[in-house]
Structure 1
């Protein structure tokens, strides 16, 4: 069957447009096409992607609509678990449409970025949008990542949260207060939040020890320099390179020789046994005489670390 014009089946298209372009109903319902959302198809061999699904979600909206919330987070690559539905924001209530699998929001004053050819929320706005979709710790993960990997400033997140109203604004303001610079990984954020929510005084993030010439000699994930204690996250499940492992052991021995104490935490210490991690760190810091340390850890961390499945 001949397709009319330059109709592109390798981009998402409404089923009715496929029929208007000359594609038969039997063909559209056959193995050559797959459904992305209700009434939206694409050629079956086109790989799925956040951009493709965002394009499908935006198809029936005016050009001033943009992907937001979880959809924008997937396109930006925010390293958190997100709900599966797609999200679109429009500037006027009259532009709002109902689509299966798509949640539509209204905001008239939003700035927009373009990522991979798709109009999406700016990162500071996205931080606020995610406040009602993510728990506190994961929202801080998103904020730390935006600052470290995308060049967003902490004050931009604080300003966006401060300008937002309602429940999203309240949640975003709380999370923004915990966002820090120079955090290397989501797991470091989760480890830091576990300890801070337990009432342990906040550690320095990525403290650099330099030579007299300014060369970085060592870098510590989390540390309390006054009492020479380091906590590091190690995400390796096995030794991928013996040389690297030996170098790490040598580095840790040098730390011990400098009268620093190091505690190494793996993923199970955050996901399966967070209480054990809190006790290990608290006990060492108490032995070292850290000022401001409570006599026993607080219980505030428990709702945020309820024994998740172990992941790297």
Structure 2
């Protein structure tokens, strides 16, 4: 009968450094190579069937891999703050004042954080404050993706647009301060999904007028519909069609809703996930033509 892999009680339900466990006589190197254990970083182990969240990897990185001045920031900090938009398995993002690494599974961003921009938590995390998190997101993501995160941070009440604008101006002249200011000015806490944020910011960056987010259309004082993006003065709406459900009646409800909007003299353009990804320029051309036509009609 095969021997059961060694799982000392002192190492169960915890993250540990293999070298430390071997030195303490708790386990041997050969036993660590068994099916009972797996690595989350080099020489950092957990039980094979343990659930290891990104937060757990953040804690492990700070505890075992990084010097005391390291701070969790960027997308990792956003996740810990409650904005989980990271793909599974992406590296832990940390801020360091000097070059460090490389370390597999860790992305080091270089910069210094002021003391009031570091939150020290009971779970041993040194975490960038929401405003510092947004600053680092603005530095290391493109403008669209940075605003996706900033929208979500504001929507959760972690920070406000005004606070981010003030923070950017307080660092006026520093490298990257205009990126932070741009992200704050483009942000909109009413956005209800990352894809809606991407669509809105892409339209604005391509020179279209800034739309109203989650606009309520009414007629004779009665609610008609809520639309993703709108130019109310022109009665133009854009809907992102990325939310499909298993309910067979959903299509009927969607079409009835569309009829109500059109009956209120609105023009509705639709964008699918594929169109947003593959043919945004084509959609911008269509929307620009619609805006021009409505403006010409209102000028008559």
Tell me the TM-score range normalised by the shorter chain.
0.7 to 0.9
Correspondence 1:112-131 to 2 at 5 A: 112=119, 114=121, 118-131=125-138
Deviation at 1:115, TM superposition (A): 9.2
What residue number does 2:30 align with?
A: 26
What residue number does 2:63 align with?
A: 59
1:7 and 1:67 map into 2 onto residues whose CA distance is 28
What do the CA deviations read for 1:225-281 (whole angstroms, capped 9, x no partner)?
111111111104x55223232122111111111111111111122101111110111
2:103 and 2:141 map into 1 onto residues whose CA distance is 22
Note if 1:268 corresponds to 2:274: yes
TM-score using structure 1 length? 0.79
Deviation at 1:194, TM superposition (A): 2.1
Counterparts in 2 of 1:252 and 1:187: CA distance versus 1, 3 Å: same
Aligned pair count reads 284
What residue number does 1:167 align with?
A: 175
Are 1:132 and 1:171, in contact at CA under 8 Å, matched by a contact in 2?
A: yes
Are 2:118 and 2:126, in contact at CA under 8 Å, matched by a contact in 1?
A: no
SS in 2 for 1:35: strand
Note if 1:85 corresponds to 2:91: yes
SS in 1 for 2:10: coil
What residue number does 2:40 align with?
A: 36
Deviation at 1:41, TM superposition (A): 1.4
Correspondence 1:224-243 to 2 at 5 A: 224-236=231-243, 240-243=246-249
1:11 and 1:97 map into 2 onto residues whose CA distance is 26
Q: Relative to structure 2, which stretch is displaced further, 52-61 or 202-211?
A: 202-211
Counterparts in 2 of 1:20 and 1:245: CA distance versus 1, 3 Å: same
2:235 and 2:202 map into 1 onto residues whose CA distance is 20
1:121 and 1:222 map into 2 onto residues whose CA distance is 32
What runs of 5+ residues in structure 1 fail to find an aligned partner? 292-312
2:123 and 2:242 map into 1 onto residues whose CA distance is 30
Q: Work out which structure has the larger RCO, using CA pairs closer than 8 Å and 6 or more positions apart in sequence.
A: 1
Q: 1:257 aligns with which of 244, 257, 263?
A: 263
Note if 1:192 corresponds to 2:200: yes
1:82 and 1:160 map into 2 onto residues whose CA distance is 31
What residue number does 2:211 align with?
A: 203
TM-score using structure 2 length? 0.82
What do the CA deviations read for 1:163-188 (whole angstroms, capped 9, x no partner)?
34633323222221101131111111
1:2 and 1:251 map into 2 onto residues whose CA distance is 59
Counterparts in 2 of 1:51 and 1:115: CA distance versus 1, 3 Å: farther
Note if 1:145 corresponds to 2:152: yes
1:67 and 1:100 map into 2 onto residues whose CA distance is 15
What do the CA deviations read for 1:115-145 (whole angstroms, capped 9, x no partner)?
9774422222111111232111000111111
What runs of 5+ residues in structure 2 fail to find an aligned partner? 1-5
Task: Provide the alpha-carbon RMSD of the alignment.
Answer: 3.1
2:251 and 2:169 map into 1 onto residues whose CA distance is 45
